[in-house]
Amino acid sequence: MAVYTHVSAEALEALLARYDVGELVSAKGIAEGVENSNYLVDTTRARFILTLYEKRVDAGDLPFFLALLDHLAERGNPVPRAIPDRAGVQVQTVEGRPACLIEFLPGVSLSHPTPRQAASAGRALGAMHAALRDFTPTRPNGLGVDAWRPLLNRCSGDLDQIAPDLFATISAALDDVERDWPRSLPTGTIHADLFPDNVLVRGDSVSGLIDFYFACTDIRAYDLAVTHSAWAFDATGAPVDAGVGANILGGYASAFGLSSEERAALPILARGACIRFLLTRAWDWLNTPADALVTRKDPVAYLRRLEWYRANPGCFA
């Protein structure tokens, strides 16, 4: 579930009174998601998402994320904008939390993407990188390659509670990734978390890209590697239809292009992506009580992906 903060009807009506969006008809909490509190809000004029930012999103980063969404939407990318109130303000305070009223996008989020949907998602990622070529604000990647060793050390030997010898396995994998990490590939603004559940589709086509709260400035091909690692495997970490991963790459290359240097770096970038998601999932696993309302994501599914990329270095050729 992802409703950490309850929003009263009075608070919601007071919020909507600041906007030209009609009168409140109904509001209900959205169960999906783990980071923020999300409500589906219907007014007499339209449907919206109300997001209250919880623990992981730093309010100081919101201007970057909102400028990014405006920039992408202005260039025709299917991303939800935060609606400005009558005074032009996008970030409000609701029940003591920073909050935004956000455009509702049509479509459903995917749990088992098909190769055609993957091709559309790859194209959407490429189109997003193209539209961000002239986006000038920057934000360091707080979960980039330089953050993984400190995070590994914070998890420490507790990792072995998750799988035997996990600390030693990830330590050795990280030695390789740090040694071979590309330092001169093109960088730009990246989504950094384009999992199937952050993509909305109608039929075979992408209708929305959401959840930009890890967006940052980093290697563009790393975004492609993250996306491949998220789409080409099932929830247990077993590879799915090879057409899914191939079409993520093909769709991306057709929309933005992929240089031979970027393609050659994908195996190491993908192993880095596996370490990133394994470590953040492991941290949450070790620090979230098993009976908490939030569903913990399985770190071992990313160990399986890491092993698969090590065994299949030619998969991006």
Ligand X SMILES: Nc1ncnc2c1ncn2[C@@H]1O[C@H](COP(=O)(O)OP(=O)(O)OP(=O)(O)O)[C@@H](O)[C@H]1O
Ligand Y SMILES: N[C@@H](CCO)C(=O)O
User: Binding residues for ligand X, per CB under 6 A?
Assistant: 2, 30, 32-36, 38, 49, 80, 102-105, 109, 197-198, 208, 210-211
How near is the Cβ of 277 to ligand Y at its closest, in Å?
5
Tell me which residues touch ligand Y (CB under 6 A).
193, 195, 277, 281, 297
How near is the Cβ of 56 to ligand X at its closest, in Å?
8
How near is the Cβ of 205 to ligand X at its closest, in Å?
15
Which listed option, ligand X, ligand Y, none, makes contact with residue 141 (CB within 5 to 8 Å by class)? none
How near is the Cβ of 60 to ligand X at its closest, in Å?
17
On whether the CB atoms of residues 223 and 130 are closer than 8 A, the answer is no
Q: CB-wise, 173 or 210, nearer to ligand X?
A: 210
Which listed option, ligand Y, ligand X, none, makes contact with residue 49 (CB within 5 to 8 Å by class)? ligand X
- Give the integer Cα–Cα distance in Å for 166 and 92: 43
Q: CB-wise, 36 or 117, nearer to ligand X?
A: 36
Tokens (6 digits) for 279: 């470590």
Q: CB-wise, 49 or 246, nearer to ligand X?
A: 49
Which listed option, ligand X, ligand Y, none, makes contact with residue 30 (CB within 5 to 8 Å by class)? ligand X
- Give the integer Cα–Cα distance in Å for 72 and 139: 16
Which listed option, ligand X, ligand Y, none, makes contact with residue 210 (CB within 5 to 8 Å by class)? ligand X
Q: In the 8-state DSSP scheme, what is residue 140?
A: B
Name the helix (H) or strand (E) containing 281.
helix 260-287
For the chain, the C-alpha Rg in angstroms (whole number) is 20
Q: CB-wise, 38 or 189, nearer to ligand X?
A: 38
- Give the integer Cα–Cα distance in Å for 211 and 50: 13
How near is the Cβ of 197 to ligand X at its closest, in Å?
6
On whether the CB atoms of residues 68 and 215 are closer than 8 A, the answer is yes
On whether the CB atoms of residues 137 and 67 are closer than 8 A, the answer is yes
Residue nearest to ligand Y (CB): 195
Which listed option, ligand X, ligand Y, none, makes contact with residue 281 (CB within 5 to 8 Å by class)? ligand Y
How near is the Cβ of 48 to ligand Y at its closest, in Å?
22
Cα angle 76-260-316, degrees, rounded to a multiple of 5:
85
Which listed option, ligand Y, ligand X, none, makes contact with residue 33 (CB within 5 to 8 Å by class)? ligand X
On whether the CB atoms of residues 143 and 192 are closer than 8 A, the answer is yes
Query: How is 41-57 classified by DSSP, letter by letter?
Result: EEESS-EEEEEE--TTS
Q: CB-wise, 281 or 304, nearer to ligand Y?
A: 281
Q: In the 8-state DSSP scheme, what is residue 293?
A: S
On whether the CB atoms of residues 21 and 13 are closer than 8 A, the answer is no
Which listed option, ligand Y, ligand X, none, makes contact with residue 277 (CB within 5 to 8 Å by class)? ligand Y
Residue nearest to ligand X (CB): 33
The HSE-up count of residue 253 (CA atoms within 13 Å, CB side) is 16
Q: CB-wise, 144 or 208, nearer to ligand X?
A: 208
How near is the Cβ of 155 to ligand Y at its closest, in Å?
14
Query: How is 76-110 classified by DSSP, letter by letter?
Result: T---PPBPP-TTS---EEETTEEEEEEE---SEE-
How near is the Cβ of 80 to ligand X at its closest, in Å?
3
